């Protein structure tokens, strides 16, 4: 099983600050996805990155896929309390299953 190391696992910052979450592996993935999960609910897909070096933006969220397709990052600019949640990266192993990172529990304090 290919492992995804996600860091940090916990992050608590003040509203307005910037933050970056990292997702690293020694293995190459065909694609990598970022999800956000609220308590008691299933994960919701934020973005999928496929091409090495790809950068995607979703409002204040910027996602980057490493050139070698082994790592990815999620950067949030000017974080807001509504950004609070569990963020999960997941790497695709071919056309089948996803392997999830440990998750980053983000808390944005007003």
Burial (CB count within 10 angstroms: exposed 0-12, middle 13-18, buried 19+), residue 4: buried
* Count of residues engaged in binding other proteins, rule: CB under 8 A: 28
Report in angstroms how near the CB of residue 16 gets to other proteins at its nearest: 26
Closest distance of CB 21 from other proteins, Å: 13
Which one, 68 or 78, has the nearer CB to other proteins? 68
In terms of Cα–Cα distance, which of 56, 55, 61 is closest to 82?
61
Query: Please, is 41 exposed, middle or buried when counting C-beta atoms within 10 Å of its C-beta (0-12, 13-18, 19+)?
Result: exposed
Interface contacts to other proteins, rule CB under 8 A: 1, 6, 30-31, 33, 35, 40-45, 48, 50-51, 88, 92, 94-103, 105
């Amino acid at each position: 099983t290919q492992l995804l190391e996600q860091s940090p696992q916990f992050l608590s910052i003040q509203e307005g600050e910037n933050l970056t979450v990292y997702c690293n592996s020694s293995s190459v993935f065909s694609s990598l996805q970022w999800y956000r999960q609220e308590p008691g609910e299933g994960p919701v897909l934020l973005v999928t990155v496929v091409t090495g070096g790809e950068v995607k933006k979703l409002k204040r969220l910027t996602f980057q896929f490493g050139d070698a397709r082994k790592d990815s990052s999620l950067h949030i600019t000017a974080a807001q309390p509504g950004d609070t949640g569990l963020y999960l990266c997941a790497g695709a192993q071919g056309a089948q299953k996803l392997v999830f990172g440990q998750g980053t529990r983000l808390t944005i304090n007003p």
